[in-house]
Structure formats: structure tokens, C-alpha cells
Chain A
Amino acid sequence: KAGVTQTPRYLIKTRGQQVTLSCSPISGHRSVSWYQQTPGQGLQFLFEYFSETQRNKGNFPGRFSGRQFSNSRSEMNVSTLELGDSALYLCASSLGLAAYNEQFFGPGTRLTVL
């Protein structure tokens, strides 16, 4: 069974631009979560989607948004990029919303904002 895939793996943008990151979950998984990883703040939860609906949201500004499609694939968008948005963005999928469900992580998208 294929794992979680994220595209692109690396991305370089300039301040003020916007970016869209994509995540394809493991087949059969319906929940997708996004995390931001930086050296200073560590791993922080962005949001979680299930059945095309955002179910939970972390403490990030409105410039960060996401969506989930009917095939469970998810995208996240960051508008008006800032230097501090440089990070590794990780996507994780799980079977459902139950807390005991294991989250399987993708390799991440490394975003660099210049």
C-alpha cells in the first residue's frame, strides 16, 4: 500500500507570493492533518479535514487555509508569504477522526521564503 505522498518536495517562493501544497493520503484514509515544523517552534498543528470538512484548526493566521476533496486528497494554501513561513510542512493521514487512529506522515514539503 502506498504511503502518504506530498508534492512538491521542495519549493522556493518570495515574500508576498502565495503557495499551494498537495497531499495524497493512504488509500482508504479519510482524515488528513497538516503540521508546520520549524527549528524554533517545533511541530505545530495547522488543521484537520475529514469528509471535505475542516474539523479542527490550530492557532495560525487566516493566511493559512486548506481544503479536502471528495477523494480525500488535500491541499493547503498560504497567501501573502512571510519569511517566517519557511518551514517543513507535513501532512498526515488516518482512517478517521478517532483519537486512537494512528497518523501516518508524508515526507513533507520544504518551503523556503526569500
Chain B
Amino acid sequence: AQSVTQLDSQVPVFEEAPVELRCNYSSSVSVYLFWYVQYPNQGLQLLLKYLSGSTLVKGINGFEAEFNKSQTSFHLRKPSVHISDTAEYFCAVKGYGGSQGNLIFGKGTKLSVKP
């Protein structure tokens, strides 16, 4: 079984400041890792994913994340945020092998970007 912990439920930040949204996971099997964003009254949109290879993954809208296997973390970063980045962000894992193909989500982090 897998679980995902997003350490901050809310992150307020000023426009053009850097931001890091933290995500830790636990799993008894190998996993793929994902970050999704949800804008108000919308579904989820994939920001980036880690499947294999380089541990630094670049996604859309200037976001990137680093997979750290020893710390079982997959933190999301952006060097300079915009007002339009205000949304809720979800970290998710998906085990592979066997019948563990569904996404397991964290509780989400609400990013609030202030002018």
C-alpha cells in the first residue's frame, strides 16, 4: 500500500518569490510520482511526473520537482510565482506491478500568491 503526505495544507507567498511545496510518500512497492494542479471549479491538470531517469523533473508553467529516493520525497518548486499560480496542488503516487495502478493522492496544498 502507498500513502502520500503533503506537509503544508496552506502556503502563502508574495508574487515573484520562490516557493516549495513538500511531498513525502511511503510505499512497499516501486512507484511513479506525479504533481497535479486544481484551479477553482475545475478538474486536475498534470504539472509533471517522475517515471525514471533524471531525478530532476521539469513540468509546465515553470514548475520542477526533485525525486529523492532515500528521503522518499518529491518536492515541487518554482523560482518565481505569479498571481495565476494560486491554486491547490496535489502530489500523487502510483504503484506499478500487480493491481496497484490507481493514483493515491495527498491531501493537497493551497498555494496563495499575494501581490
| A interface residues, Cβ below 8 angstroms from B | 4, 33, 35, 42-45, 48, 55-56, 58, 90, 92, 97-100, 102-108
Contacts and interface: CB of A to CB of B under 8 A. Distances in A.
B32 interface: yes
A33 B107 contact: no
17 contacts: A42-B105, A42-B106, A42-B108, A43-B90, A43-B105, A43-B108, A44-B105, A55-B99, A56-B101, A92-B44, A102-B46, A103-B46, A105-B45, A107-B41, A107-B42, A107-B43, A108-B42
Contacts of B105: 35, 42-44
Residues of A contacting B: mostly: strand
B7 interface: no
Interface string B17-45: 00000000000000010001000011111
A33 B105 CA distance: 14
Given A43-B108, A44-B105, A92-B103, 9 more contacts: A42-B107, A42-B108, A43-B103, A45-B104, A56-B99, A56-B102, A58-B102, A90-B44, A105-B43
A104 B45 CA distance: 7
A105 B44 CA distance: 6
Interface string B71-97: 000000000000000000010101111
A35 B105 CA distance: 10
A100 B45 contact: no
A55 B96 CA distance: 14
B42 to A, nearest CB: 6
B106 A103 contact: no
Nearest to B52: A100
Nearest to B44: A105
